[in-house]
């Protein structure tokens, strides 16, 4: 039987492990933490991410947890519209899911062909010609025909195989929270939860996950928000960080104030936003009868501005499943490893380029630059978001 090792049980690793197992591979999933668990935040899935999950056979699980996300337009902090909301065709509309719900669906998709080893932090990578690829910690080595590196932005495997890709700060920090449904503020009908507001170096996006278990809402429900601020992450306690957020976003349009007031310090998840610059030159490395592939943030970590990181990880997993479906160890599997790299490099490079343009727009500071940004936003943003949305919408899983 063909064997694969997947390093990392984040969204990308879980999707890849399940995909390979469902195609008949014997899979070992290695995770450095003692438990496999999801963040208590949420995630926007664009049509490409949804399509990738459907190609992976997870569409049924997704339908039960996804809440449609209407186009809310983009406002300035003074309430002026930068981009007016528009009606979006259902197939182009994104959805929002609670990460814990998505995690549960991905774990359900692992089936019984995946051996899970937690508490194993990979530190060694064997790439010796003629031998099977292998990874290990100080105590043991695990070899397989195929090794999938889904170990995130700080990937040990990528550092060894693609040292040219370095991790750099994206120049901003992000705070996210899900306010549980039972603490969610009651807003008047003319003031919907969903909104996006863009100021000088600051951005606030909110989306409703619905009521717990409600039809058309995520299983856990609640209100998700993400705040982005130019600069480094903050070392202070969650209480102080929340106080800072309330100060930074004071006077921003409703419902931002209500949402921050309803958030508790324990709800907050802060993250320094980082990316890979440059991207790896390859995502596939033939070794022995198969080789290594990089997947998800390990391959193409990027800022979250277009909400594409996990969507692209699911595309990676769907592509890997397609190119390896018939590939037996030896020349065919080595060719599949090359083919994965060839297919994924241009696709992810395009999305990274668009995300970087959005980064530049978001991080504009200074009054003149800001005025230019606001003027440009009216022109650039619909174009930029339009091309990002159509790139997202157009992706089809390879057959």
Binding mask 48-77 for ligand FAD (x = CB under 6 A): -x----------------------------
Dihedral sign for Cα atoms in the order 328, 330, 336, 341: positive
The DSSP secondary-structure symbol of 184 reads: P
Report the nearest approach of ligand FAD to the CB of residue 331 (Å).
29
Size of site (CB under 6 A) for ligand FAD: 35
Cβ within 8 Å of residue 270, ≥6 positions away: 173, 174, 175, 233, 234, 238, 241
Binding to ligand FAD by residue 31, rule CB under 6 A? Answer: yes
Residue from 19, 30, 242, 336 touching ligand FAD (CB under 6 A): that is: 30
Using CB under 6 A as the binding rule, the residues of this chain from 320 to 379 that contact ligand FAD are none
Token pair in block for residue 199: 């100021």
Name the segment binding ligand FAD (CB under 6 A); options: 61-69, 192-200, 232-240, 306-314: 306-314
Query: What is the rounded CA–CA span in Å between residue 399 and residue 396?
Result: 9
CA distance 283 to 294: 5
Q: Which two tokens stand for residue 265?
A: 């310090």
Applying CB under 6 A, the span of 178-186, 246-254, 303-311, 372-380 interacting with ligand FAD comes to: 303-311
Closer to ligand FAD by CB, 145 or 297: give it.
297
Comparison of 315 and 338: residue with beta carbon closer to ligand FAD = 315
> Considering the rule CB under 6 A, would residue 178 count as an interface residue with ligand FAD?
no
Q: Of these, 10, 61, 133, 217, which contacts ligand FAD (CB under 6 A)?
A: 10
Please tell me whether residue 309 binds ligand FAD under the rule CB under 6 A: yes
Here the tokens at position 5 are: 């090792």
Q: Could you tell me the smallest distance in angstroms from the CB atom of residue 375 to ligand FAD? A: 27
Site string for ligand FAD, 282-301 (x = CB under 6 A): --------------xxx---
Q: Is position 166 an interface residue for ligand FAD (rule: CB under 6 A)?
A: no
- Quick one: which of 85, 84, 83, 49 has its CA closest to 66? 49
CB-based contact 361:201 (threshold 8 Å):
no
Q: Which of residues 190-229 bind ligand FAD (CB under 6 A)?
A: 226
CB of 201 to ligand FAD, least distance (A): 15
Q: Which stretch binds ligand FAD (CB under 6 A): 10-18, 140-148, 196-204, 252-260?
A: 10-18
Residue 106 within binding range of ligand FAD, rule CB under 6 A: no
Q: Is 156 in the site for ligand FAD (CB under 6 A)?
A: yes
CA separation (Å) from 395 to 21, 104, 154, 294, 388?
24, 25, 27, 20, 11
Mapped to the 3 state alphabet, what secondary structure does 48-78 carry? HHHHHHHHCCCHHHHHCCCEECCCCCEECCC
H or E stretch covering 37: none
Beta carbon nearer to ligand FAD, 280 or 334: 280
Q: How far is the CB of 336 from ligand FAD (least distance, A)?
A: 20
Tokens 């606030």 locate to: 204
271 near ligand FAD, rule: CB under 6 A = yes
- E-strand ranges in the chain read 3-7, 26-31, 42-45, 67-68, 74-75, 81-83, 95-98, 114-118, 124-126, 134-136, 141-143, 146-149, 166-179, 195-199, 202-208, 223-230, 269-277, 284-287, 290-294
Residues forming contacts to ligand FAD in the complex (CB under 6 A) are 7-13, 30-33, 43-44, 49, 121-122, 150-152, 156, 174, 176, 226, 271, 273, 296-298, 304, 307-311, 313
């Amino acid at each position: 039987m063909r064997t694969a090792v997947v390093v990392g049980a984040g969204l990308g690793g879980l999707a890849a492990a399940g995909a390979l197992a469902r195609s008949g591979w014997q899979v070992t999933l290695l995770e450095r933490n003692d438990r496999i668990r999801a963040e208590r935040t949420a995630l926007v899935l664009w049509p490409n991410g949804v399509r990738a999950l459907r190609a992976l056979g997870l569409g049924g699980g997704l339908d039960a947890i996804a809440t449609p996300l209407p186009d809310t337009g983009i406002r300035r902090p003074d309430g002026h519209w930068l981009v007016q909301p528009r009606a979006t065709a259902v197939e182009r509309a994104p959805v929002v899911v609670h990460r814990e719900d998505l995690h549960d669906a991905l774990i359900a998709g692992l089936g019984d062909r995946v051996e899970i080893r937690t508490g194993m932090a990979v530190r060694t990578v064997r790439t010796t010609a003629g031998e099977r690829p292998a990874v290990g910690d100080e105590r043991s080595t695990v070899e397989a025909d195929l090794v999938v590196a889904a170990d995130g932005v700080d990937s040990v495997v990528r550092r060894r195989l693609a040292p040219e890709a370095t991790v750099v700060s994206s120049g901003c920090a992000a705070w996210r929270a899900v306010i549980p449904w039972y603490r969610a503020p009651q807003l008047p009908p003319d003031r919907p939860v969903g909104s996006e507001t863009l100021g000088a170096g600051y951005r606030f996006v909110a989306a409703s996950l619905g009521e717990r278990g409600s039809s058309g809402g995520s299983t856990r429900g609640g209100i998700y928000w993400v705040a982005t601020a130019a600069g480094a992450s903050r070392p202070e306690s969650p209480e102080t960080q929340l106080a800072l957020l309330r100060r930074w976003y004071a006077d921003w349009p409703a419902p931002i104030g209500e949402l921050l007031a309803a958030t508790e310090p324990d709800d907050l998840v802060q993250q320094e936003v980082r990316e890979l610059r440059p991207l790896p030159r390859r995502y596939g490395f033939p070794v022995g009868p198969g080789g290594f592939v990089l997947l998800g943030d390990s391959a193409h970590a990027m800022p979250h501005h277009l909400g594409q990181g996990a969507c692209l990880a699911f595309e990676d997993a769907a592509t890997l499943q397609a190119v390896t479906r018939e590939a037996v160890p030896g020349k065919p599997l080595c060719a599949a490893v090359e083919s994965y790299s060839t297919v994924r490099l241009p696709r992810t490079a395009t999305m990274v380029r668009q995300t970087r343009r959005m980064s530049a727009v978001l991080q504009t500071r200074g009054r003149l630059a800001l005025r230019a940004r606001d003027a440009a936003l009216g022109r650039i943003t619909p174009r930029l978001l339009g091309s990002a949305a159509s790139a997202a919408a157009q992706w089809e899983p390879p057959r």
